[in-house]
Structure 1
Amino acid sequence: MSALTPSILPRAACPDPVFPAAMAGGLLAAATPAEPESTTTTTVSSLGKDLLLDIFLRLPNLPALVRAALACRTWLGAVRSSPSFRRLFHALHPAPLLGIFLETDGICIPTFVPVRRFDPDVAVSLRRGDFFLTSLPAEGDASRGWLLDDCRGGRALLWNALHGSLAALNPMTWAVDSLPMPPVDFMAETRNFLGFHLLYSDEKPSSFRVVCICADASRVRAAVFSSETWDWAINPWVEIGGNNSLKCKTSTLVGDSVYWPCHGEAHMIRIDATTMDVTTVDLPSQAKVEWHNCKAGETKDGGLCIAHVSADFLLQVWTHSVDGDGIQSWIPHKAISLGAQVDRITEGFQGDLKVVQVRDGTAYLSRTMMTPSGLLCCWFFSLCLETMELDLLIQGRYDGRGYPYIMAWPPSLVGDEAPELEGSE
């Protein structure tokens, strides 16, 4: 039998190497393999909740957080069970503006124009959503005549005056609720319908309320619909004094209150949608209301503010303050002359500058003009109330009535317990 090569000798036939005694504690110790230690595999799924939420705070925006939270049940549960995290994330990363719903004369349904179509995170949301509003009821010719009254909490509130229909539609989820109109006697006694407003809660996104405001010569009246009771609560008339100078679609919802500037005057009406208290709020002396030149709005932290633009395009902003004795006042925030910037963007065409909305610390403005050839053109801007930087969002041929659509927290990311997700790990 042939001899075995040393490389495959049995272990017993190979003598252990002999090292000098002086090396016993050095090289020998280094050459001898250490006993293996027990190890525990660490994965991203095993991160503690606090560390996980701290990592999530570093995500760039809300769409990125949605994708991350839906990756597994543990991550989703961490986001759902922490209202404080959601508030902090919103403060660091305000929900993105996805686009503008435009109302154009001669078009039977509002048109959506995206404003961040090249943002990959936003583009995914836009592709999956129902921004053509195809979910609206369309029996017979009921698809005609839909008007937009509010966009809030991810929902668009539309009503159809031709058919007496009201609907709340979420373009992101394709969910649509066909709502009952206010009672006939409520509408029949009204000389001046002022509009609808949509109220919602960040911590209870599955439910909402709708406020309908009407007025006559010297009084206002409100009806409130609740998605939980599916019924309207009718409130009594309230005297506001003087001649009614409230105009349709000039109001703003801030918190749980609706603010209506009084045309030609230096005050506005405040209607608390919870208590139905109606009060008069004086405006700064410089802020005389003339149609759409003055709007109440909300600062980045949800406080009340006023944005007023003069005929020479001077935009002034005041924030509302209440001292320890309950005395209310308006504090000048910032002022900026927009004439040169707007004229440069609109190439010198003449037209008034309107305050469309003030939401989450951003003022939305529009300028409309008729060209010599008879074309109606409009420019839609956004202005950050902190930096006072003006950005052009849309330029096109429409009449200037626009409603910013801001991405809301998905209901799946709000709650105490994570839902069962098929395929989650």
Structure 2
Amino acid sequence: MASELGLPPPAKGPPATPTTIAAISYDLLCEIFLLLPSLPSLVRAALACRTFLNAVRSSPAFRRRFRALHPPQLLGFFGEPRRAPVPPFVPLRSRSDPDLAAAVRGSDFFLTRLPEDSGDSTLGWKLQSFHGGYVVLVKDATHQIAAYNPVTQALHLLPRPPEEILFSDSLEAHIVFSEEDQRVFRVVCVQHQSTRLRAPACVAVFSTATREWQVFPWVETSPPPPPPPPPRDFIKFYPGTQLNGFVYWKHTSRPYVLVLNTATVQFSRLDLPPFLGQISSTRFRLGQTKDGMLCMVAIDLSDAERGTLHVWFWTADDDGVEKWVLGDTFLLTTFVDATKDDPTVHIEAVIDGFVYLSTKYDEHTDEHTESLLSLCLETAKLNKLFGDSTYVSPAHPYIMAWPPSLVCHKEDSQTMVTGESVADAAPVGTKETSSVHASASPSYKFD
């Protein structure tokens, strides 16, 4: 119409400025990343470009929110056979999550970076503990300790522990990370002695900062025995459980838990309900809720026809006194098929609000079948992880830790802002080459 009237065409406005990924704020990117289905998916997305990586690394609050919205990232289970050079691993298969499958494929769950044992093949590496994505193992023949992250393939080989704590097979090793920097850690080794009336324990600590062992004096950890002491009540503890900077050992026949504060290297005791005194390790586990609260799960078989699973929480009452408070109770028929012969339920682990249970049928025959379940303490949702005959108890869940490459340390802040390098962030499904850390000299420090 304007051309027909002889008027000039309307002037065109300036071209729109193209929107780039750099124009999206870190806060908005983090909101988008919260919608991703799993931790491996977040790792893959964060490593797509420096902007994505900086957004994730810049916000500790985002890490807390992501963990709160997503369950622990289970990648599979390590077995514990009697004779094997390295513990076998059974991966969790998920066709619905290709990033999870890529994380499993790209990890070294065969533990190939561990030094080989040139002697007896039955004297291999024995599982000790799991924490922060690391598997801690001890070599049977030499007592050498290795801390290995199968996902990042970071391997730390420690010098042989001091002779003071190597006199029996009850040595335990637990890895403790610095709150400020996961690249700095300590390995706490604990040795228990077992006698009828006493339970002394010794602690040795190896620090990556000093590359030395520090041995602490032997201390008595047992309360006075009730009079008269049982004739064969030898003091003994089940393997320890590490939670929030503490290690807990359940006594095999008395209703208490021995507690080690790994920061102060001080022992204390935590009483249990009396009927938990002689409960076996397969029917009792300590763990923590989704919010980090200490909890315990136990199987009560006092009623043979209606066995139950109880959940307690360590919390304060109305007077501010901390004690065990009974939470949920589940019938064992919730987890087993009552139509099958000789069903049993074992508690494998309690991790971040999830109870991992193994079920078994016809245990005393050569044709028994086993499966693995997870129970969410928050929602009471039951999930079958492995079908019959594909899982063998006992085994240890391997939980993928938050990758160090997605955490900004103080010395990394300048790199994050300028985007100079993301070399430490290996994509999911690829191998990260890490140097093997070992002590330059086997010098020990005794205090």
User: TM-score normalised to the size of structure 2?
Assistant: 0.80
Q: CA RMSD in A?
A: 2.7
1:398 Cα shift?
7.0
- Distance change >3 Å, CA 212–CA 173, structure 1 → 2: same
1:390 Cα shift?
3.0
Moved more, 162-171 or 217-226: 217-226
Does structure 2 conserve the Cα–Cα contact (< 8 Å) formed by 1:193 and 1:248? no
- Distance change >3 Å, CA 372–CA 325, structure 1 → 2: closer
User: TM-score normalised to the size of structure 1?
Assistant: 0.84
- How do residues 13-24 of structure 1 correspond to structure 2 at under 5 angstroms? 17=3, 19=5
Corresponding position: 1:137 with 2:129: no
Q: Structure 2: where are the runs of 5+ without partners?
A: 226-232, 426-447
Partner residue of 1:406 out of 399, 406, 410 = 399
Which protein has the larger Cα radius of gyration, Structure 1 or Structure 2? 1
Separation in 1, partners of 2:352, 2:35: 21
Corresponding position: 1:120 with 2:98: yes
Q: Could you tell me which amino acid in structure 2 is paired with residue 414 of structure 1?
A: V
Separation in 1, partners of 2:47, 2:3: 58
Provide Cα deviations, 1:111-137, integer angstroms capped at 9, x if missing partner.
111123423111001111111111111
Partner residue of 2:133 out of 151, 154, 177 = 154
The aligned residue for residue 421 of structure 1 is: 422
The aligned residue for residue 310 of structure 1 is: 300
Moved more, 163-172 or 206-215: 206-215
Separation in 2, partners of 1:368, 1:195: 29
Higher normalized contact order (CA 8 Å, seq sep 6+, divided by chain length): 2
Provide Cα deviations, 1:133-171, integer angstroms capped at 9, x if missing partner.
111111524764211112221111111112322111111
For these two proteins, the number of residue pairs brought into alignment is 394
Provide Cα deviations, 1:165-202, integer angstroms capped at 9, x if missing partner.
211111112221111232012323xx572522232357
Q: Could you tell me which amino acid in structure 1 is paired with residue 241 of structure 2?
A: T
Moved more, 293-302 or 228-237: 228-237
The aligned residue for residue 273 of structure 1 is: 262
Q: Could you tell me which amino acid in structure 1 is paired with residue 215 of structure 2?
A: I
The aligned residue for residue 433 of structure 2 is: none
- Distance change >3 Å, CA 195–CA 376, structure 1 → 2: farther
The aligned residue for residue 10 of structure 1 is: none
Moved more, 166-175 or 143-152: 143-152
Partner residue of 1:353 out of 339, 345, 366 = 345
- More strand per residue: 1
| Equivalent position SS for 2:336 | helix
Quote the sequence identity (%).
38
Partner residue of 2:16 out of 33, 39, 52 = 39
Provide Cα deviations, 1:23-45, integer angstroms capped at 9, x if missing partner.
xxxxx6xx833332253211123
1:316 Cα shift?
0.4
Provide Cα deviations, 1:45-99, integer angstroms capped at 9, x if missing partner.
3211222222222222211111111111122112112211111111112341010
The aligned residue for residue 220 of structure 1 is: 201
Separation in 2, partners of 1:17, 1:165: 89
1:227 Cα shift?
2.5
The aligned residue for residue 445 of structure 2 is: none
The aligned residue for residue 210 of structure 2 is: 229
Separation in 2, partners of 1:161, 1:369: 33
Separation in 1, partners of 2:87, 2:244: 26
Separation in 2, partners of 1:114, 1:17: 72
Partner residue of 1:187 out of 146, 152, 166 = 166
- Distance change >3 Å, CA 322–CA 233, structure 1 → 2: farther
- Distance change >3 Å, CA 57–CA 237, structure 1 → 2: same
- Distance change >3 Å, CA 71–CA 380, structure 1 → 2: same
| Equivalent position SS for 1:89 | helix
